[in-house]
C-alpha cells in the first residue's frame, strides 16, 4: 500500500486530503503534516473513517522534512504549504529520493518575487536522485497550463496568442478578504504587471491594463493584467507563441481596499518597529483578515478560469476558449472548502495520482504542460472539474 505525505493543512490542504481519500485505492495511507496541529485535527475529524495520521512539522527545516519522509517511508510528497517552503521540501525529497509535487512557485519571504529559477535549478539533483518533481499542479498554474497544452495538441498547428482569464465571482459578504493565503495573494496583486510579447517581457504598473470579458455562467467582469507564474514556463514550452498574458477579475470594493492598505503601508513586507516590538505590516494584516478557510461556509457564486488561444489550423485563423466553472456552494458541500481552494486542491490530487500510477513519469523537474494533457483533461471531468470548449469568432 502507498503512503502519501501531504504538507500544509490550509484551505488547499483540506481539499487535497478529501480528494486523496476519495481515491484511497491510489493514495493509500495519508500523513497530513503542518505547522499547527489544530488544523490537521479539524481536517481529520471530517474524515473519521479514512486512514489518516496527523503530525506537526516546520517545513522550513529540510532536515525535519527529511526525517518525516523517512519515518513514514512516503511514496510521494504533496506540498500545499506556502511557496516559501518549496525549496526546503524539494531538498528533503532529493535527500530521500521521494517524488515531489507543488502548486505554486518558490518565493523568498523577504522579496515579493516569484520565479521558477531556483526550482528548475534542482533538475539535475532530481535526476541524480532518480525522482520526478511536478511543479505548479494547481489551477493556475496547473489546469491553465494543461488547457494550453491541450489547445496546442488538438486545435492548432501554431498558437500565436494566449490569454489566461481568471474570474472569481464569489461573494463572501465581507468588505475585504482574500480567498487564499492573504500574504501570497496581496503580494501577487500589488506587484507590477508583466506579460510576454515577441520574445520580450513587458512590465506594467499594477492594474494598469484592464479589459471587460464576458465569462460564461458569470457575466461581464473587469479583468486586470497581472504577472502570473505559469507564463514563465508556458513561454518555454508552447512553441511558436507570440504573446501570452494573464488577467484576473477584481471588484471595486477589493481594489479600493487594496489601494488604501497600500497607501498606508499595510502591504509592507519589511520589518518595522512598533512599541518596541518588531512586526511585518503584511503579517499583521493577515492576522486581522478573515482566515480564508473560514470563507467557505459563507461564499456564494461561481469561479470561471480558462484560456483563450488564437492561431492557425489548416491554413485558417482560429480562436478557442477552454474554461471551467465551479460553484462555491457545491464545492463546500463536497469538501468543506470554497471553490478557490477546491479548484487548486483537485488538480494537485490529479497530478499526484498520475505520478503514482506512472502515467506522468520522468526524471528531473517538470512543469505540467510537458506531459500529455489528454489524461489530465479526462481526470478533471471525473474528479469534479468538468470543462468546456467554445469556438470564438476570429
Name the residue nearer to ligand NDP (CB basis): 225 or 318.
Answer: 225
- Residue 7 sits at φ, ψ, to 5 deg, of -110, 120
- Whose Cβ is closer to ligand NDP: residue 104's or residue 129's? 104
Near ligand NDP by CB under 6 A, which window of 82-90, 199-207, 320-328, 384-392? Answer: 82-90
Which residue from 9, 69, 66 is spatially nearest to 33, judged by alpha carbons? 9
Q: Long-range contacts made by residues 297-301, C-beta under 8 angstroms, separation at least 24?
A: 297/332, 298/172, 298/173, 299/170, 299/171, 299/172, 299/179, 299/328, 299/329, 299/332, 299/338, 299/339, 300/170, 300/171, 300/328, 300/329, 301/169, 301/170, 301/171, 301/218, 301/327, 301/328
Does 103 contact ligand NDP by CB under 6 A?
yes
Distance of CA 251 to the CA centre of its chain: 21
For the bound state, the minimum distance from the C-beta of residue 321 to ligand NDP, rounded and expressed in Å, comes to: 19
Q: Which of 6, 18, 77, 83 binds ligand NDP (CB under 6 A)?
A: 83
C-beta of 62 vs 85, nearer to ligand NDP:
85
CB of 125 to ligand NDP, least distance (A): 21
Is residue 39 close enough to count as binding ligand NDP by CB under 6 A?
yes
Q: If you write DSSP's letter for every residue of 124-190 in order, what string do you get?
A: HHHHHHT-EEEE--BTTTBHHHHHHHHHHHHT-SEEEEEEEEEEE--B-S-SS--SS-HHHHHHHHH
Contact track, ligand NDP, 50-69, x by CB under 6 A: -------xxxx---------
What values do phi and psi take at 62, rounded to 5? -55, -45
Q: Which is nearer to ligand NDP, 108 or 154 (CB)?
A: 108
In whole angstroms, give the CA distance from residue 394 to residue 311.
Answer: 9
Comparison of 138 and 281: residue with beta carbon closer to ligand NDP? 138
Told to check if 329 binds ligand NDP by CB under 6 A, we report: no
For ligand NDP, give the closer residue by CB, 35 or 318. Answer: 35
Binding of residue 186 to ligand NDP (CB under 6 A): no
Give the x/- contact pattern for ligand NDP in 111-150, rule: CB under 6 A: ---------------------------xxxxx--------
CA 123 to chain centre: 21
Which residues contribute to the site for ligand NDP (CB under 6 A)?
Answer: 8-13, 34-36, 39, 57-60, 80-83, 85, 103-104, 138-142, 180-181, 184, 292-293, 341, 344
Amino acid at each position: 500500500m502507498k503512503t502519501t505525505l501531504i504538507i500544509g493543512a490550509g484551505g488547499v490542504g483540506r481539499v487535497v486530503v478529501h480528494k486523496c481519500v476519495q481515491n484511497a485505492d491510489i493514495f493509500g495511507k495519508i500523513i497530513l503534516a503542518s505547522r499547527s496541529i489544530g488544523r490537521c485535527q479539524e481536517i481529520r475529524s471530517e474524515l473519521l473513517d479514512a486512514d489518516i495520521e496527523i503530525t506537526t512539522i516546520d517545513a522550513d527545516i529540510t532536515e525535519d522534512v527529511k526525517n518525516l519522509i523517512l519515518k513514514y517511508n512516503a511514496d510521494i510528497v504533496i506540498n500545499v504549504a506556502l511557496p516559501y517552503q518549496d525549496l526546503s521540501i524539494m531538498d528533503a525529497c532529493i535527500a530521500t529520493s521521494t517524488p515531489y509535487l507543488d502548486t505554486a512557485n518558490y518565493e523568498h519571504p523577504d522579496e515579493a518575487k516569484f520565479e521558477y529559477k531556483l526550482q528548475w535549478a534542482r533538475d539535475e539533483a532530481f535526476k541524480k536522485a532518480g525522482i520526478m518533481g511536478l511543479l505548479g499542479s494547481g489551477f493556475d498554474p496547473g489546469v491553465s497550463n494543461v488547457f494550453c497544452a491541450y489547445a496546442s495538441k488538438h486545435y492548432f498547428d501554431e498558437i500565436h496568442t494566449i490569454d489566461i482569464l481568471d474570474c472569481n465571482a464569489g461573494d463572501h459578504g465581507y468588505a475585504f478578504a482574500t480567498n487564499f493565503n492573504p500574504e501570497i495573494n496581496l503580494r501577487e496583486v500589488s506587484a507590477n504587471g508583466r506579460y510576454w510579447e515577441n520574445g520580450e517581457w513587458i512590465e506594467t504598473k499594477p492594474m494598469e491594463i484592464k479589459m471587460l470579458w464576458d465569462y460564461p455562467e458569470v457575466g461581464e467582469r473587469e479583468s486586470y493584467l497581472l504577472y502570473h507564474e505559469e507564463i514563465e514556463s508556458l513561454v518555454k514550452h508552447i512553441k511558436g507563441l507570440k504573446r501570452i498574458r494573464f488577467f484576473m477579475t477584481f471588484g471595486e470594493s477589493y481594489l479600493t481596499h487594496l489601494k488604501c492598505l497600500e497607501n498606508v503601508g499595510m502591504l509592507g513586507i519589511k520589518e518595522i518597529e512598533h512599541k518596541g516590538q518588531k512586526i511585518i505590516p503584511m503579517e499583521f494584516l493577515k492576522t486581522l483578515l478573515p482566515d480564508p478557510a473560514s470563507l467557505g461556509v459563507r461564499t456564494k457564486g461561481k469561479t470561471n478560469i480558462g484560456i483563450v488561444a488564437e492561431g492557425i489550423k489548416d491554413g485558417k485563423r482560429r480562436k478557442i476558449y477552454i474554461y471551467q466553472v465551479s460553484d462555491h456552494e457545491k464545492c463546500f458541500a463536497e469538501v468543506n472548502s470554497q471553490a478557490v481552494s477546491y479548484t487548486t486542491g483537485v488538480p494537485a490530487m490529479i497530478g499526484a495520482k498520475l505520478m503514482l500510477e506512472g502515467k506522468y513519469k520522468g526524471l528531473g523537474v517538470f512543469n505540467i504542460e510537458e506531459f500529455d494533457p489528454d489524461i489530465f483533461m479526462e481526470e478533471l471531468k471525473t474528479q469534479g472539474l468538468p470543462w468546456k470548449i467554445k469556438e470564438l469568432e476570429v
